[in-house]
Amino acid sequence: MAPAKRIEAQTKELLEKELTPRGPSQLSSISRLPLTQFEIPVDLDNELPQKDENRPNILPHSDHAGSPYYIGGMYDKGISRSIWEIDTANRPYLRYLKSLGEGWPHITWLADFMEVGTSPIKWKFLTDEDIELRAKRTRVAVLNFTADGKTPTRQNIQSSKELREYLEDPGLKHDPDYARLLVVEDLSRDVIELLGAQYDIDPLFFRAQIQDYLWYNTKDPWVELNDLDHIASERNFFNIRYMRPRYFISEKSIDDAKGELGTFNVLRRLEQDLSYRIRQIRKLKGPTVGVVRSKTALWIRKNKGDEKGVLAILVVDPTLSHGYSLWGGPRNLQPCPSMHTPLPAAPPRSTLFEDVLHYLTTMSREDILSIKVEPRALGLPIASLVASDWKTVVSYIITGLTKIEWELEHPDYRDATYGLEGLLDRLHPLRRLIPVYRAMVSESLNTILNPLKIAGASQASAHLRKLHTDFQSILDDIDRLQIRTQNIIGLATTIIGMEENQRAMKMNENLVRVTYLAVIFAPMAFVSSFFSMTPDLSTLKQTFWIYFAVTVPLTVICLVVAIYVKGCSDSFPQWLHQAMLQVLVSLSLRGSVEFRANFNDNLQDEIFWRSLDSLLQRALHSLAYKLYLEYEYSLRTRVVRISWTAVSEMQMDFSTGEFEWFDLSYPEIGHSIPSIDLSVEFSILRDELVDLFVPV
């Protein structure tokens, strides 16, 4: 039995046992939606989910995790929260979150996260010891900035006990003299409780950080819908979604990385490379690249009353120890020093947590002094690292698309493992993910880098504006990649169709050979059958010669007719020599390209149109492949249009084979715009059209 089915069967067996719910009251009976194939029925009146504590690091929604709805769904009248409830007497922030459940139901999932210690879906895989360890996990660094712009001081906190003692220290001023930043790696019950209660933090700040979903099913209880823009813009925190690319040397490295992601309290998963689907089906081994869904969040306190200092909290994700940062990770964000100055400390490149702290502690004096005016300056290092990761992701996608284009253009170098159809399997994940990446970058532009909120002439504001330009450039790159991906998919589909047509033509040639055999033997069989109608076989010796006298001339006549018909078909275009076939290709500033063909009115033969359709379609795909064009064509209206922006013109007269290429200047814009060199493509198109329509 497959592991997933075995786990599902075991879980069903556990759920079939009679259990008594914990808690003072029984949960009311509910009406369930129709069960899906992977859903396990849960009768909340009589049964509660049971634990499977052997795999505490399993990732939810994986093949081995089983149905995530064992705790209940969105439309159940009550999720079985009694199975993980804890005492809230000494946890005011958790108690506060639970009180919000009626008016803000999505906050309840954060309360569940705190009680379970991680995603509530993992509850059945955790022992009590696992839950306790996750609840106390703490890694915090406190940076105190001073008004003189000197290097900030750093204090490390490695346990929830230390964090509690730090926050409850009578000598600690919670309103810093200048600025204070708490950098937190991962989230846990104690960290959320202590920081949330101490600083009255908006629960949505933590809620957005604990999971990584790109989309939701209609019955997911963990759904997190986006707020209206005008509401979100008034908040004092920012959440940034992004992807971190990593290189894995083997399948074992990938599996180890997935297991390590399961140790995080926050839910993070791995998107594998473009060939992941084929690798899964064909059980391929070897190096691969994956991108980790990641998030970071920055909260800046709104000062009230006598509060004057800047207080902020930055939450970053843990870093995988398995695999390597793709291409060595982002470049050093600091410029190279002069050869006459001492070398500054290099970033540790060990974890994101340490890298962020490195760049925060090496901020320039001007940036530190501008924190008071622009508190978002504290987010400059993490935003720069996020932009660098996006640049790496874009470069990796370009690499993948370029390799696919090369294989399409050079069939001899095409990977035999994947095949031509495999190229589409590598492209479809990109077609799905690139719009998601675009949405992530757009969110960053509209939140922490919103130009409407970047005011002032401080150096930090200038840096934020530069970062806005960087993210806008990334967004433009992603837009181009999206168009490029669609065009390559169209090209690959066309090439597949052409190769299928070639195979069909070869099969037709075989059918022609069979037809010749039929032409040869059909007359013989007919005459033989005709003469065999006589029952008197003794008379055949006198008439046997008649068989050959009839069949041989009849066969020769059939062959001559067949050859003549084939010759007429092959010479079909010869009668077109009187027709003037002209194709005019114009590329103008308006972004319009037209292929116009002027024919005689009697060019209506279906074979002609089919041939022209196939040839122009292939030629247009060739042009689209080089220029990433989007096109549409209609042969019946004899006009083909392509969307593009350039300045060039070409005219071909196929009756004489003349070819002319020249550039156009537009006086109204004051200068000549360079043309795009398509001479090779148009030359090939001309030669093929000449071969098709001009008599030899």
Give strand pairing partners of 143: 154, 181
- Model confidence band, residue 414 (pLDDT cutoffs 50, 70, 90): low
pLDDT, position 4: 43
Phi then psi for 552, rounded to 5 degrees? -65, -55
Within 13 Å, how many C-alpha atoms sit on residue 342's CB side?
A: 2
What average pLDDT score do residues 386-406 get?
91
What tokens appear for 73 in the block?
């769904």
What average pLDDT score do residues 140-160 get?
94
* Listed range (148-157, 485-494, 535-544) with the worst mean pLDDT: 535-544
pLDDT, position 481: 92
- Model confidence band, residue 284 (pLDDT cutoffs 50, 70, 90): low
Rounded to whole angstroms, the Cα distance separating 227 from 542 reads 102
Rounded to whole angstroms, the Cα distance separating 613 from 498 reads 12
- Model confidence band, residue 334 (pLDDT cutoffs 50, 70, 90): confident
What tokens appear for 609 in the block?
């149109």
The answer to whether 659 and 670 are in contact (CB under 8 A) is: no
Closest Cα to residue 319, out of 245, 252, 393?
Answer: 245
pLDDT, position 455: 65
pLDDT of 610 strictly over 70: no
pLDDT of 46 strictly over 60: no
Orientation angle between helical segments 92-99 and 189-199, nearest 10 degrees: 80
* Listed range (55-59, 389-393, 492-496, 563-567) with the worst mean pLDDT: 563-567
pLDDT of 648 strictly over 50: no
Per the model's pLDDT, the better-predicted residue between 314 and 6 turns out to be 314
The answer to whether 645 and 591 are in contact (CB under 8 A) is: yes
pLDDT, position 538: 64
pLDDT of 671 strictly over 60: no
Query: Do strands 270-272 and 630-634 pair parallel, antiparallel, or not at all (unpaired)?
Result: unpaired
Of 292-301, 481-490, 652-661, give the range with the top mean pLDDT.
292-301
Give the CA-trace dihedral at 496, 497, 502, 508, to 10 degrees: 140
* Listed range (260-269, 389-398, 416-425, 582-591) with the worst mean pLDDT: 582-591
* Listed range (3-12, 240-249, 331-340) with the worst mean pLDDT: 3-12
State pLDDT tens for residues 430-439: 888 899 999 9
Alpha helices in 57-123 (DSSP H): 92-99, 108-116
Closest Cα to residue 594, out of 542, 548, 547, 632?
Answer: 632
Q: Estimate the share of the chain in helix, then strand, then coil, as percent rounded to the nearest 5.
A: 50, 15, 40
pLDDT, position 502: 77
Closest Cα to residue 492, out of 416, 429, 421, 433?
Answer: 421
What average pLDDT score do residues 156-166 get?
95
Per the model's pLDDT, the better-predicted residue between 410 and 318 turns out to be 318
pLDDT of 172 strictly over 80: yes
Question: Which run of H or E residues covers position 662?
Answer: strand 658-662
Orientation angle between helical segments 380-409 and 419-446, nearest 10 degrees: 160
What average pLDDT score do residues 301-329 get?
92
pLDDT of 388 strictly over 60: yes
pLDDT of 107 strictly over 90: yes
Per the model's pLDDT, the better-predicted residue between 666 and 173 turns out to be 173
pLDDT, position 30: 28
Per the model's pLDDT, the better-predicted residue between 216 and 533 turns out to be 216
Annotate 535-553 with DSSP letters as a single string. S-GGGHHHHHHHHHHHHHH
* Listed range (24-33, 478-487, 629-638) with the worst mean pLDDT: 24-33
pLDDT of 61 strictly over 90: no
pLDDT of 304 strictly over 80: yes
Mean pLDDT score of the chain, rounded to an integer?
Answer: 73
Of 243-247, 284-288, 580-584, give the range with the top mean pLDDT.
243-247
Per the model's pLDDT, the better-predicted residue between 693 and 551 turns out to be 551
pLDDT, position 471: 92
Rounded to whole angstroms, the Cα distance separating 225 from 206 reads 15
pLDDT of 294 strictly over 90: yes
Per the model's pLDDT, the better-predicted residue between 590 and 300 turns out to be 300
- Model confidence band, residue 650 (pLDDT cutoffs 50, 70, 90): very low
Domain spans, the chain = 1-135, 499-570, 576-693
Query: Within 10 Å of residue 204's Cβ, how many Cβ atoms?
Result: 19
Amino acid in position 402: T
Amino acid in position 434: I
Could you tell me the pTM of the whole model?
0.68
User: Residue 499 contacts by C-beta under 8 Å, 6 or more apart in sequence?
Assistant: 420
Give strand pairing partners of 310: 179
pLDDT, position 251: 83
Question: Which run of H or E residues covers position 595?
Answer: strand 592-597
Per the model's pLDDT, the better-predicted residue between 182 and 306 turns out to be 182
- Model confidence band, residue 36 (pLDDT cutoffs 50, 70, 90): very low
pLDDT of 591 strictly over 60: no
Rounded to whole angstroms, the Cα distance separating 422 from 419 reads 5
The answer to whether 435 and 479 are in contact (CB under 8 A) is: no
Rounded to whole angstroms, the Cα distance separating 50 from 40 reads 12
Annotate 338-356 with DSSP letters as a single string. PTTSPPPPPP--S-HHHHH
What average pLDDT score do residues 330-352 get?
89
Length of the chain: 696
What tokens appear for 255 in the block?
């599996």
What average pLDDT score do residues 28-48 get?
34
pLDDT of 391 strictly over 80: yes
Rounded to whole angstroms, the Cα distance separating 420 from 500 reads 11
Share of the chain above pLDDT 90, in %: 32
pLDDT of 381 strictly over 90: yes
| Torsion sign over Cα 364, 155, 160, 264 | positive
The answer to whether 120 and 71 are in contact (CB under 8 A) is: yes
- Model confidence band, residue 533 (pLDDT cutoffs 50, 70, 90): low
Query: Do strands 179-185 and 310-316 pair parallel, antiparallel, or not at all (unpaired)?
Result: parallel
pLDDT of 461 strictly over 90: no
pLDDT of 49 strictly over 70: no
Rounded to whole angstroms, the Cα distance separating 462 from 449 reads 11
pLDDT, position 137: 95
Helix (H, G, I), strand (E, B), or coil: what is residue 116? helix
Closest Cα to residue 133, out of 71, 92, 95, 189?
Answer: 189
Annotate 481-539 with DSSP letters as a single string. HHHHHHHHHHHHHHHHHHHHHHHHHHHHHHHHHHHHHHHHHHHHHHHHHHHTT-S-GGG
